[in-house]
Amino acid sequence: MNLKKLTLAAVILAVLAGLTLWVKAPERRMGPLDNPTPARELDLDLVYGVEIEAPEETVQLRRGKENDWTVESMLAYPLDARQLQDLLLKIQQIRLSRAVTSKADHHGRFKLLDPKGEEGEKKEKGTKIILLDKESKSLFEIVLGEPRTSVGGATGMGDAGQYVRLMGSPAVYLMKNRLTVASKPERWLLKELLDVKLDEVARVEIRSPQAKPLIFTRGKDAEWELEGLQDDEKLKIPAVKGVARSLERFNLRSLSLSNQDLDESRSLRLKTFEGMTYSVRLGEPLAEGEKQILARVDVVAAEDAEDSVKKKAKELHHRLAPWTFLLDAYQLKRLIKPRGDLVEKRATEPPAEAGKIAAPPLSGKDAAPGEGPSPGPSPPGQE
């Protein structure tokens, strides 16, 4: 009898404990969703603006009259269109698996508080994405919260996903897919500046302070030459080629908001066979430990260049010339090399030691058999 009572008491306690946890737990399963794909019918052609709000950053992306997108919060510099397209498609493919809670006071637990609101701590706030139309009116808004880890603790397994909140509703949902978005403006910039291939380059000019300009040239199928190369010098061809290809996949790190101008005292110019001249002007090296240097980039075409070349140069000039860029500091050593890194002395035969006289041939008595001077012809009668 006592055993039955103990068993019944244990069951009751377990049920009560479960009910207590269920009441206090912020996450619980609710009824079926009315619209599990809230952005599926969104017409992306109507999107003319994207705003991304984080607790300490705001990104503003805008679409221009010619459908060119820019980062408004970075002086309206062109953005990476592929990155934006990827974000918009992922938003359109959002799929909610279930509702978790409808209580607004639980938003902080899922890191879903308004990022710019006064309520809650920074760690409780989410990242808000707002899609705008041509008149800057909201088309769609969502707040991204923390990822959900499965019950076993392994991220990405089981009932995993990401907590989200749709604007206009206090409800918290679990989204099946996860969505990460860059909340720093510089992460949206179009990073590619130039892509000049080695086989296109006919002339390289390097300028650095307190040194004579280094000018390397070559013909279409010829090797590199240096103006003023001495007879006892030769080029380090791999190093010269390294400078000639230094503007291949040439990317920026960020954009300088100071828009500082720079002279040509520390610069690199590459001229192509088709008549394009690419120039990169660099600022003073920053303090040791700094990871960035300032740079200005420009492109011009020769007067006798073909019209297609002039058109390409004009487009690049319009896109690049107005800005001051920030490059990774290691780029300085790639672009501006001293003469000693590009030229070396030719190897020569070592000179004979002064005062050393060649030894006379060994005499017959001192020579080993088969050595020494030839005895000459034998006298008559001794042959």
pLDDT tens-digit series, residues 32-66 = 577 889 999 999 999 999 999 999 999 999 999 88
Q: What is the predicted pLDDT for the residue at 259?
A: 72
Q: How confident is the model at residue 160 (pLDDT cuts 50, 70, 90)?
A: confident
Among the residue ranges 69-73, 88-92, 154-158, the one predicted with the least confidence is 154-158
Domain ranges within the chain, ordered by starting residue:
31-183, 192-345
Which residues, other chains included, contact 58 with Cβ-Cβ below 8 Å and sequence gap of 6+?
Answer: 51, 52, 73, 185
Burial of 357 (0-12, 13-18, 19+ CB in 10 A): exposed
pLDDT tens by residue, 218-272: 998 899 999 999 999 999 999 999 999 999 999 999 998 877 789 899 999 999 9
- Greater confidence (357 vs 111) lies with 111
Read off the amino acid at residue 166: L
User: Who contacts 248 (Cβ-Cβ below 8 Å, separation ≥6)?
Assistant: 194, 195, 196, 197, 198
CA dist 101 and 94 (Å) reads 19
> Could you tell me the two tokens for 66?
């010619």
More confident residue, 20 or 334: 334
pLDDT digits (tens, 9 = 90+) for 326-377: 999 889 889 999 999 999 999 876 665 655 555 555 554 454 455 445 455 5
User: Which pLDDT value is given to residue 361?
Assistant: 56
8 confidence band (pLDDT: 50, 70, 90): low
Query: What's the confidence (pLDDT) of residue 168?
Result: 83
Question: pLDDT value at position 66?
Answer: 87
Task: With beta carbons less than 8 A apart as the criterion, state whether 230 and 339 touch.
Answer: no
pLDDT for the residue 155: 44
Tell me the mean pLDDT in the region 270-295: 87
Whole-model pTM?
A: 0.76
End-to-end CA distance of the chain: 143
Question: Residue 115's pLDDT band (boundaries 50, 70, 90)?
Answer: very high
Mean pLDDT across the chain: 85
Q: Residue 283 and residue 294: Cα distance in Å, rounded?
A: 5
**pLDDT for position 156:** 43
**Length, in residues, of the chain:** 383
User: For residue 373, what are the CA distances in angstroms to 315, 359, 366, 368, 380?
Assistant: 84, 14, 11, 11, 20
Distance CA 130, CA 50 (A): 6
pLDDT (tens digit per residue) in 204-232 = 999 999 899 999 999 988 999 999 999 99
Task: Report the percent of the chain where pLDDT is more than 90.
Answer: 65
**Residue 91 in this model has a pLDDT that exceeds 90:** yes
